[in-house]
Amino acid sequence: MRKSFCLLLILIVLPLHVFAAPAVTTEVLEYDFGEVAQGDKVTHSFRFKNSGDELLEISSVSSSCGCTAALLSSKRIAPGEMGEIRATFDSSRFRGQITKTITLNNNSPLHPQVQFKLKGIVNELLSLSTNRISWAWPTADQTGRSQVFIQNLSQQKIVLQEATSTSPQLQARLDRLELAPGEKATLSVSGSLPPGSERLNGYLLVATDFKPMPQLRISVAGRLVK
Protein backbone atom coordinates (compact mmCIF):
# COMPACT_ATOMS: atom_id res chain seq x y z
CA MET A 1 0.00 0.00 0.00
CA ARG A 2 2.84 2.38 0.95
CA LYS A 3 4.72 1.55 -2.32
CA SER A 4 1.58 2.31 -4.36
CA PHE A 5 1.17 5.66 -2.59
CA CYS A 6 4.81 6.62 -3.32
CA LEU A 7 4.43 5.71 -7.00
CA LEU A 8 1.26 7.81 -7.27
CA LEU A 9 3.02 10.73 -5.59
CA ILE A 10 5.89 10.55 -8.08
CA LEU A 11 3.47 10.54 -11.05
CA ILE A 12 1.69 13.60 -9.69
CA VAL A 13 4.89 15.55 -9.02
CA LEU A 14 6.57 14.81 -12.36
CA PRO A 15 5.70 17.52 -14.93
CA LEU A 16 3.91 16.62 -18.17
CA HIS A 17 6.20 17.50 -21.08
CA VAL A 18 4.56 18.64 -24.30
CA PHE A 19 7.03 18.90 -27.15
CA ALA A 20 6.49 21.72 -29.67
CA ALA A 21 6.81 20.88 -33.38
CA PRO A 22 5.80 22.16 -36.82
CA ALA A 23 2.91 20.49 -38.63
CA VAL A 24 1.62 20.59 -42.21
CA THR A 25 -2.09 20.96 -42.98
CA THR A 26 -3.18 21.03 -46.64
CA GLU A 27 -6.27 22.43 -48.32
CA VAL A 28 -6.27 19.74 -51.04
CA LEU A 29 -3.77 17.06 -51.98
CA GLU A 30 -5.11 16.32 -55.46
CA TYR A 31 -6.22 18.51 -58.37
CA ASP A 32 -8.13 17.01 -61.33
CA PHE A 33 -7.81 19.30 -64.36
CA GLY A 34 -10.27 17.26 -66.44
CA GLU A 35 -9.45 17.02 -70.16
CA VAL A 36 -6.94 19.11 -72.10
CA ALA A 37 -5.65 19.05 -75.67
CA GLN A 38 -2.14 17.71 -76.16
CA GLY A 39 0.27 20.63 -76.05
CA ASP A 40 -1.72 22.63 -73.48
CA LYS A 41 -0.16 23.67 -70.17
CA VAL A 42 -1.97 23.24 -66.86
CA THR A 43 -1.09 25.43 -63.86
CA HIS A 44 -2.39 25.00 -60.33
CA SER A 45 -1.37 26.30 -56.90
CA PHE A 46 -1.40 24.05 -53.84
CA ARG A 47 -1.68 25.82 -50.46
CA PHE A 48 -0.62 24.45 -47.09
CA LYS A 49 -0.43 25.75 -43.52
CA ASN A 50 1.97 25.39 -40.63
CA SER A 51 -0.58 24.27 -38.06
CA GLY A 52 2.10 23.46 -35.48
CA ASP A 53 3.76 25.66 -32.89
CA GLU A 54 7.33 25.69 -34.23
CA LEU A 55 8.94 27.02 -37.42
CA LEU A 56 8.21 24.87 -40.51
CA GLU A 57 11.26 24.58 -42.74
CA ILE A 58 10.97 23.44 -46.38
CA SER A 59 14.07 21.55 -47.50
CA SER A 60 13.06 20.88 -51.11
CA VAL A 61 10.22 20.69 -53.65
CA SER A 62 10.42 18.14 -56.47
CA SER A 63 8.13 16.94 -59.26
CA SER A 64 7.76 14.02 -61.66
CA CYS A 65 8.59 14.11 -65.39
CA GLY A 66 6.67 16.69 -67.45
CA CYS A 67 5.79 18.77 -64.42
CA THR A 68 7.61 21.68 -62.78
CA ALA A 69 6.98 23.02 -59.28
CA ALA A 70 8.02 26.26 -57.64
CA LEU A 71 7.71 27.28 -54.01
CA LEU A 72 6.08 30.73 -54.07
CA SER A 73 6.30 31.29 -50.33
CA SER A 74 9.27 31.39 -47.99
CA LYS A 75 11.17 28.22 -47.10
CA ARG A 76 10.66 29.14 -43.42
CA ILE A 77 6.99 29.33 -42.42
CA ALA A 78 6.00 30.52 -38.96
CA PRO A 79 3.19 28.85 -36.97
CA GLY A 80 -0.21 29.78 -38.39
CA GLU A 81 1.20 31.05 -41.71
CA MET A 82 0.44 29.70 -45.20
CA GLY A 83 2.75 28.32 -47.86
CA GLU A 84 2.12 27.87 -51.58
CA ILE A 85 3.48 25.71 -54.40
CA ARG A 86 2.72 26.44 -58.04
CA ALA A 87 2.76 23.37 -60.30
CA THR A 88 2.85 23.52 -64.12
CA PHE A 89 2.26 20.47 -66.33
CA ASP A 90 3.27 20.53 -70.02
CA SER A 91 1.16 17.97 -71.88
CA SER A 92 3.14 18.08 -75.16
CA ARG A 93 4.77 14.66 -74.66
CA PHE A 94 1.86 12.90 -72.98
CA ARG A 95 -1.41 11.29 -73.93
CA GLY A 96 -4.31 9.60 -72.21
CA GLN A 97 -4.77 9.41 -68.43
CA ILE A 98 -1.88 10.99 -66.52
CA THR A 99 -0.95 11.60 -62.88
CA LYS A 100 1.93 13.85 -61.85
CA THR A 101 3.33 14.11 -58.33
CA ILE A 102 4.79 17.11 -56.50
CA THR A 103 6.71 16.30 -53.31
CA LEU A 104 7.22 18.73 -50.42
CA ASN A 105 10.05 17.75 -48.06
CA ASN A 106 9.99 19.47 -44.67
CA ASN A 107 10.90 19.18 -40.98
CA SER A 108 7.46 18.16 -39.70
CA PRO A 109 7.92 15.00 -37.58
CA LEU A 110 4.49 13.62 -38.51
CA HIS A 111 4.52 14.43 -42.24
CA PRO A 112 8.11 15.03 -43.37
CA GLN A 113 7.11 14.32 -46.97
CA VAL A 114 3.83 15.60 -48.39
CA GLN A 115 2.74 14.62 -51.92
CA PHE A 116 0.39 16.66 -54.08
CA LYS A 117 -1.02 15.28 -57.33
CA LEU A 118 -2.14 16.70 -60.67
CA LYS A 119 -4.26 14.34 -62.74
CA GLY A 120 -6.41 14.40 -65.85
CA ILE A 121 -6.73 13.27 -69.45
CA VAL A 122 -4.63 14.49 -72.38
CA ASN A 123 -6.39 14.27 -75.74
CA GLU A 124 -4.08 13.73 -78.71
CA LEU A 125 -4.26 16.11 -81.66
CA LEU A 126 -1.18 14.88 -83.49
CA SER A 127 -0.74 11.19 -82.82
CA LEU A 128 2.33 8.93 -83.01
CA SER A 129 1.76 5.18 -83.27
CA THR A 130 4.83 4.89 -81.04
CA ASN A 131 7.43 7.26 -79.64
CA ARG A 132 10.00 4.53 -78.99
CA ILE A 133 11.77 2.13 -81.38
CA SER A 134 13.98 -0.71 -80.13
CA TRP A 135 16.05 -3.14 -82.19
CA ALA A 136 18.20 -6.15 -81.26
CA TRP A 137 20.71 -7.67 -83.73
CA PRO A 138 22.52 -11.03 -83.66
CA THR A 139 25.43 -9.62 -85.72
CA ALA A 140 26.91 -6.15 -86.03
CA ASP A 141 26.21 -5.85 -89.79
CA GLN A 142 22.40 -5.87 -89.37
CA THR A 143 20.08 -2.97 -90.25
CA GLY A 144 16.96 -2.23 -88.25
CA ARG A 145 13.81 -1.06 -90.05
CA SER A 146 10.57 0.25 -88.57
CA GLN A 147 7.58 2.42 -89.46
CA VAL A 148 5.94 5.09 -87.34
CA PHE A 149 2.52 6.47 -88.26
CA ILE A 150 1.68 10.11 -87.63
CA GLN A 151 -2.03 11.01 -87.65
CA ASN A 152 -3.66 14.42 -87.66
CA LEU A 153 -6.51 14.30 -85.14
CA SER A 154 -7.04 18.06 -85.12
CA GLN A 155 -9.49 20.11 -87.20
CA GLN A 156 -6.83 21.90 -89.27
CA LYS A 157 -4.20 21.06 -91.87
CA ILE A 158 -0.76 20.32 -90.42
CA VAL A 159 2.52 20.64 -92.31
CA LEU A 160 5.44 18.42 -91.30
CA GLN A 161 9.13 18.77 -92.04
CA GLU A 162 11.45 15.91 -92.91
CA ALA A 163 12.82 14.17 -89.83
CA THR A 164 16.24 15.05 -88.49
CA SER A 165 18.37 12.66 -86.44
CA THR A 166 20.74 13.07 -83.52
CA SER A 167 22.78 10.09 -84.77
CA PRO A 168 24.42 9.67 -88.22
CA GLN A 169 23.51 5.98 -88.01
CA LEU A 170 19.79 6.79 -88.14
CA GLN A 171 17.84 7.66 -91.28
CA ALA A 172 14.15 8.47 -91.67
CA ARG A 173 11.84 9.69 -94.41
CA LEU A 174 8.19 10.76 -94.51
CA ASP A 175 5.90 9.67 -97.34
CA ARG A 176 3.99 12.98 -97.12
CA LEU A 177 4.51 16.37 -95.52
CA GLU A 178 0.97 17.74 -95.44
CA LEU A 179 -1.82 16.19 -93.39
CA ALA A 180 -5.46 17.16 -93.70
CA PRO A 181 -7.66 16.44 -90.67
CA GLY A 182 -7.80 12.67 -90.16
CA GLU A 183 -4.93 11.85 -92.55
CA LYS A 184 -1.83 9.80 -91.71
CA ALA A 185 1.81 10.00 -92.73
CA THR A 186 4.27 7.11 -92.61
CA LEU A 187 7.76 7.68 -91.25
CA SER A 188 10.12 4.96 -92.49
CA VAL A 189 13.09 4.51 -90.16
CA SER A 190 16.33 2.57 -90.61
CA GLY A 191 19.44 2.34 -88.48
CA SER A 192 22.58 0.35 -87.80
CA LEU A 193 25.29 0.09 -85.16
CA PRO A 194 28.09 2.66 -85.19
CA PRO A 195 31.43 1.13 -86.24
CA GLY A 196 33.04 -0.70 -83.34
CA SER A 197 30.04 -0.22 -81.06
CA GLU A 198 27.49 -2.64 -79.65
CA ARG A 199 24.79 -0.02 -79.05
CA LEU A 200 22.86 2.59 -80.99
CA ASN A 201 21.02 5.44 -79.28
CA GLY A 202 19.43 8.53 -80.76
CA TYR A 203 16.35 10.57 -81.44
CA LEU A 204 14.32 11.40 -84.52
CA LEU A 205 12.82 14.89 -84.53
CA VAL A 206 9.93 15.99 -86.77
CA ALA A 207 9.15 19.72 -86.77
CA THR A 208 5.57 20.85 -87.47
CA ASP A 209 3.67 24.10 -88.02
CA PHE A 210 1.12 23.01 -85.39
CA LYS A 211 1.56 25.37 -82.42
CA PRO A 212 0.33 22.96 -79.70
CA MET A 213 2.97 20.42 -80.84
CA PRO A 214 5.79 22.14 -82.73
CA GLN A 215 8.00 19.06 -82.55
CA LEU A 216 7.54 15.29 -82.44
CA ARG A 217 10.28 13.21 -80.84
CA ILE A 218 10.93 9.47 -81.25
CA SER A 219 13.67 7.68 -79.32
CA VAL A 220 15.55 4.91 -81.12
CA ALA A 221 17.75 2.26 -79.50
CA GLY A 222 19.53 -0.76 -80.92
CA ARG A 223 21.92 -3.29 -79.41
CA LEU A 224 23.99 -6.30 -80.33
CA VAL A 225 22.74 -9.52 -78.76
CA LYS A 226 25.52 -12.11 -78.65
pLDDT in tens, the chain (226 residues): 444 444 433 444 444 445 689 999 998 999 999 999 988 999 999 999 999 999 999 999 999 988 999 999 999 999 999 999 999 999 988 889 999 999 999 999 999 999 999 999 999 999 999 999 999 999 999 999 999 999 999 999 999 999 999 999 999 999 999 999 999 999 999 999 999 999 999 999 999 999 988 999 999 999 999 7
Please identify, among 73, 88, 123, the residue that sits at the C-terminal boundary of a domain. 123
**Quick check: is 143 in a domain?**
yes
The reply to whether 42 and 101 lie within a common domain is: yes
**Quick check: is 18 in a domain?**
no
Backbone angles phi, psi at 138, to 5 degrees: -75, -25
Domain of 177 in residue numbering reads as: 126-224
Measured from the Cβ of residue 114, the count of other Cβ atoms closer than 10 Å reads: 19
Measured from the Cβ of residue 210, the count of other Cβ atoms closer than 10 Å reads: 21
Distance between first and last Cα of the chain: 84
Total tally of structural domains belonging to the chain? 2
The answer to whether 103 touches 188, Cβ cutoff 8 Å, is no
Integer angstrom CA distances of residue 116 from 17, 51, 83, 179, 213? 34, 18, 13, 39, 27
Residue type, 49: K
The reply to whether 84 and 165 lie within a common domain is: no
CA separation for the pair 123, 19 (Å, rounded): 51
CA separation for the pair 129, 151 (Å, rounded): 8
Query: What is the predicted pLDDT for the residue at 19?
Result: 67
